[in-house]
Amino acid sequence: GQGLPPPQLPSQGSETLLPSTIDKIATDFTRKHKCPDVKLVRDVIAALVAARNERAENLSEEQRQSGVQEVRYGDFLQLLHVSTGKMVSVSKAQAHERGERKVEFSEGGTE
């Protein structure tokens, strides 16, 4: 309830923050702002770190799925038909038949 800004986290590197680093940040923050509950500050910092890591993972996955990479022979694709919300699919048997071009709409796609 003091209207304090959240604790500053070190810039995100390739590693996640170690518990000892989180403890140090929490201790420094509680001393600076005269907060009585180090555990609460530590929990807030851990939640901030988890949120930052999740944002980074989501961004990475979004970039991976955004079509930036080219499609190559043998790649697995999932296509969603926008109008119906169903998956456009081809069965394994159809995929192996030469010249077969039939596709189907299905609720969950095929393997």
The whole-model pTM stands at 0.54
- pLDDT tens, N- to C-terminus, the chain (111 residues): 568 888 888 886 656 788 899 999 999 999 999 988 999 999 999 999 988 888 888 888 777 777 656 767 777 667 788 888 887 776 666 556 666 666 666 666 555
Q: Report the helix count and the strand count for the chain, using DSSP H and E.
A: 3, 3
Contact 52, 12 (CB under 8 A): yes
Task: Show the tokens assigned to 95.
Answer: 């995929």
DSSP H stretches of helix in 1-111? 19-33, 38-65, 92-96
d(C-alpha 111, C-alpha 100), whole Å: 17
Contact 105, 91 (CB under 8 A): no
Contact 74, 53 (CB under 8 A): no
d(C-alpha 32, C-alpha 42), whole Å: 14
> Longest C-alpha distance within the chain, in Å?
74
14-32: per-residue pLDDT in tens? 567 888 999 999 999 999 9
